[in-house]
Amino acid sequence: MAGLTESLGRLQERFAAAAAAVTGERELEALRVHYLGRNGEVTQLRRTIGTLPPDERREAGKAINDVVADMEALLEDAAGALRSRALETELAQSIDVTFPAPSCGLGSIHPVRRIIERTCDYFTRHGFAVVLGPEAEPEYYNFDALNIPDDHPARENFDSFWLNGGIVLRPHTSPIQVRTMQRYPPPVAIVAPGKCYRRDATDARHLYAFHQIEGLLVAEGIHFGHLKGTLEHLCREIFGPQQSVRFRPSYFPFTEPSAEVDTTCPKCGGTGHVAENARCAMCGGSGWIELGGAGMVHPNVLLEVKYDPDKYSGWAFGFGVERLGLALYEVDDIRRFVNSDPDFLAQLR
């Protein structure tokens, strides 16, 4: 047993020195085979156990197993050291660790959200309150209270999404105006942003789910000039100081008189032409961009919310937020605002 112990000690020392000197995986595998393989030196020592006295064989087997465990641990350490050296070599050859790291990608506020915030900020600075409401409303708030009875042809223009029990996915944020007037006596000054739904075919100018922002002011002595001045200053706030606003006669059942609101094209400055007298593609050469509808609140709507139309008057408007984005960012397709294109959104950041 003493001779076996001495042989194991010398064997362990030689193996440790050889393991520390290996420089590659093939050399490490050859070392394992030489010492721990089927015909390796450790196997040769195991075969000598049968020559020992019976009472020493158990102890001899345990001693050999302990040495084998130490050798296997040294092999694993050597393999780890080889992997680390290989990685360091690869990094040194392919990566300049002194080069500045790439910057992290940062998100930003979506352009639609930014337009809503800028518009609401304009109105809150002028004393308006921002009011929100549910996206699914009874038809009373979507139509009846807005002077659109069952047989009114204007209902067909909305082509709305109907749910069970006469509930409608709101085609506009006007229900917020009705609810606010029912709850508060005049004067009332609110702006109502939110998502709306209409059964429109999706194309470059239409979405079935879109955002709208509406404004309402009801008080004594309010007239059309107040509406025009407010919207003109709003357009200058959003598009720049040179903006003008024009009103084209139109029809809406909830306002009278009613108008479509246009602003000077921000791309051509209202001239209808760009470089070398080419026709402006954004406005089609007209010099104007359509934003939405507006007008004086219809007396029937005021009566419905128990306001006296002989004492109070008011104006209202409704603009599509994505439509504002088309003009503000000179975008040619409204679908780009909902396609989740990171490159497109980064350009507008």
Check residue 209 and give its pLDDT: 92
Check residue 260 and give its pLDDT: 94
Please report whether residue 105 resides in a domain: no
121 and 183 in a single domain? The answer is yes
206 and 89 in a single domain? The answer is no
117 and 85 in a single domain? The answer is no
Range of the domain at 59: 2-94
55 and 186 in a single domain? The answer is no
Task: Give this prediction's pTM.
Answer: 0.67
Number of domains in the chain: 2
**Final residue of a structural domain among 68, 94, 120:** 94
Instruction: Give the 3-state secondary structure percentages of the chain, helix then strand then coil, rounded to 5.
Output: 50, 20, 30
Q: Is-contact 107 152, C-beta < 8 A?
A: no
Omega into 138 within 30° of 0, i.e. cis? no
- CATH number for the domain including 156? 3.30.930.10
337 and 217 in a single domain? The answer is yes
83 and 116 in a single domain? The answer is no
Phi, psi of 238 (to 5 degrees): -85, -45
200 and 150 in a single domain? The answer is yes
Q: Which two tokens stand for residue 312?
A: 């109070």
Check residue 6 and give its pLDDT: 77
Please report whether residue 106 resides in a domain: no
Identify the CA nearest to 175 among candidates 134, 209, 203, 210. 134
165 and 28 in a single domain? The answer is no
Check residue 106 and give its pLDDT: 77
Check residue 95 and give its pLDDT: 65
89 and 168 in a single domain? The answer is no
Check residue 146 and give its pLDDT: 93
Please report whether residue 99 resides in a domain: no
Q: Is-contact 7 44, C-beta < 8 A?
A: no
- Taking the C-alpha atoms of residue 35 and residue 23, their distance in angstroms, rounded to an integer, is 17
- Taking the C-alpha atoms of residue 337 and residue 282, their distance in angstroms, rounded to an integer, is 17
206 and 325 in a single domain? The answer is yes
Phi, psi of 125 (to 5 degrees): -65, -20
Please report whether residue 151 resides in a domain: yes
Which H/E stretch holds residue 262?
Answer: strand 255-264
**Final residue of a structural domain among 64, 94, 124:** 94
* β partners of residue 314: 218
Check residue 1 and give its pLDDT: 59
Please report whether residue 29 resides in a domain: yes
* Residues 7, 47, 2, 74, Cα dihedral to 10°: 40
Please report whether residue 291 resides in a domain: yes
Check residue 299 and give its pLDDT: 96
Please report whether residue 102 resides in a domain: no
- Taking the C-alpha atoms of residue 344 and residue 236, their distance in angstroms, rounded to an integer, is 25
- Count of helices and strands (H, E) across the chain: 12, 10
- Taking the C-alpha atoms of residue 327 and residue 263, their distance in angstroms, rounded to an integer, is 9
Please report whether residue 104 resides in a domain: no
Identify the CA nearest to 240 among candidates 269, 219, 220, 210. 269
183 and 208 in a single domain? The answer is yes
Q: At what angle do helices 25-36 and 2-21 cross, to 10 degrees?
A: 170
- Taking the C-alpha atoms of residue 57 and residue 50, their distance in angstroms, rounded to an integer, is 7
179 and 285 in a single domain? The answer is yes
pLDDT less than 70: residues of the chain: 1-3, 94-97, 153-158
Check residue 2 and give its pLDDT: 65
